[in-house]
Amino acid sequence: MALQSLHIRRLRVPRKTTAVTSGRQRAQSFLIVATLLYRASHLAVGVLAVVRRPTDQPLPYVGIVLALALSGLTYGAALRRGRFDARHIWADVVVTGCVLPLALIAWGGVSTPPALGWAMLLGGSASAAAAIALDRLHAVTVVALLLLSHFIGYQAVGASSAVIAGHLNSLVSSAVMTWVFRWYLLRQGSLLDEANARALAAEAHKARYAERLEHHRALHDTVLATLTTLAAGSVDANAPEVRARCAREAAYLRRLIQQTADEVQHREIGTALEEAVGSVEGLQLRVTAQYHRLPQVPPAVAAALGDAVREALNNVRRHAGTGHAYLTATADPDGRGGALVTVVDRGPGFDPENCTPGLGLRGSVHARMAEVGGRATVDSAPGEGVRVELRWPG
């Protein structure tokens, strides 16, 4: 007979995701925004200069449009990627910083320093971006190219020595100050990352210590207490209740030894399942449990899985008639970061078509899983036992 399944509709739970970036990444993003604002101020001056000085020469209009387009490409890509593309920087430097001023003098009808000033300003923001995006040698090369082309340009329009010296000084200063800011911010970002790494390591050490302490207390209250009592000779080691207790504690030790490092770090689900197993073992139900690569789940999900497993094991104790259940918990094989837990017994089973799920199965298994966005299914057939599968997300 084909196995039948009882399904509960999944309730969707909204989730929030938070992007985590390093200190160096945040510093780099800040530098991109800062140089973008610097370039925006120069572009604003350029647009106003071109609009306020009508001319029959089309080149100034073409030049400001080209500068806007290159700026959009350079800084738009940098904002998306979190870093500058060196090819965009070189294109901006050559076209906007070097070629545009000389082209305006040669073919754009520009013959005075004030008329050329807006194009020269763009060289300052070009040198600043180069100091961030390029290595030291290439950044120095960019500054040298800008100095040479701007010196030639201002000489061609008859600028005074003071104007030339002041402008060339601003080109160098923009690059130097930006490079200093970059060095300082990236250094602070690295120090912040190192401090965060130390804090995480300390928290992990603290968590491992707390885990060991919890295990020590559990062993003290269970296995050690039993061994101490047996060594004192105050009880009959062959008494059925003593042997049953020893079997339960041996099973607990076996599961403890089988835990992996991942399960220790993300133990919420393991703790909930262990509590469920312990509660039914005290009622004379033997549970063979296997845990493998337990995933990290929210506390509410771990609690729901533990409660659902407890009810499923209670059903085995009440109805299966075997006194033995099998529990398996692992990461979701679909690779979605979820959990898959199964409870199986080898009892007489039942026919799902002729059996209505009881209150415990509906309220303690299906409903609990649905409330946290999971799903429970029950497979059974006469003579084939019962398999309860708990999956999160559903």
CATH number at residue 335: 3.30.565.10
Judgement on whether residues 52 and 139 belong to the same structural domain of the protein: yes
Residue 327, strand partner residues = 289, 343
Whether 204 maps to a domain, the answer reads no
Judgement on whether residues 307 and 164 belong to the same structural domain of the protein: no
pLDDT value of residue 5: 36
CA–CA dist 267, 263 (Å, integer) = 5
- Confirm if 365 and 327 have CB atoms less than 8 A apart: no
* Boundary residue ending a domain (149, 169, 196): 196
Judgement on whether residues 83 and 185 belong to the same structural domain of the protein: yes
pLDDT value of residue 39: 95
Question: Crossing angle, helix 136-156 and helix 100-107, to 10 degrees?
Answer: 20
Judgement on whether residues 49 and 145 belong to the same structural domain of the protein: yes
pLDDT value of residue 285: 78
* Boundary residue ending a domain (146, 167, 196): 196
The CA-atom distances, in angstroms, between 277 and each of 123, 317, 329, 375 are 72, 12, 12, 21
Would you list the DSSP string of 325-374? EEEEEEE-TTSSS-EEEEEEE-S----GGG----HIIIIIIIHHHHHTT-
Cα of 161 vs its chain's centroid, Å? 56
Residue 180, strand partner residues = none
Judgement on whether residues 171 and 297 belong to the same structural domain of the protein: no
Whether 174 maps to a domain, the answer reads yes
Written as six digits, the tokens of 201 are 């390591």
The CA-atom distances, in angstroms, between 224 and each of 53, 217, 282 are 93, 10, 18
Q: How many domains does the chain have?
A: 2
CA–CA dist 69, 62 (Å, integer) = 10
Reduce the DSSP state of residue 42 to 3 states and report it.
Answer: helix
Whether 188 maps to a domain, the answer reads yes
- Confirm if 140 and 127 have CB atoms less than 8 A apart: no
Whether 244 maps to a domain, the answer reads no
pLDDT value of residue 266: 43
Q: How many CB atoms lie under 10 A from the CB of residue 153?
A: 26
Whether 1 maps to a domain, the answer reads no
Judgement on whether residues 106 and 192 belong to the same structural domain of the protein: yes
Judgement on whether residues 169 and 276 belong to the same structural domain of the protein: no
Per residue of the chain (394 residues), give pLDDT as tens. 333 333 333 333 334 333 446 888 889 999 999 999 999 999 999 999 999 887 788 999 999 999 999 999 999 999 999 899 999 999 999 999 999 999 999 998 899 999 999 999 999 999 999 999 999 999 999 999 999 999 999 999 999 999 999 999 999 999 999 999 999 999 998 888 888 888 888 887 887 777 676 666 556 556 666 676 677 776 677 777 777 777 777 777 776 666 554 444 445 788 888 888 876 776 667 888 888 888 888 888 888 898 888 888 888 877 888 889 999 998 887 767 789 999 999 888 887 777 665 555 766 788 888 888 888 988 888 888 899 999 988 6
Residue 382 structural domain: 262-392
Whether 221 maps to a domain, the answer reads no
Judgement on whether residues 278 and 364 belong to the same structural domain of the protein: yes
- Confirm if 59 and 99 have CB atoms less than 8 A apart: no
* Boundary residue ending a domain (196, 229, 246): 196
Judgement on whether residues 53 and 147 belong to the same structural domain of the protein: yes
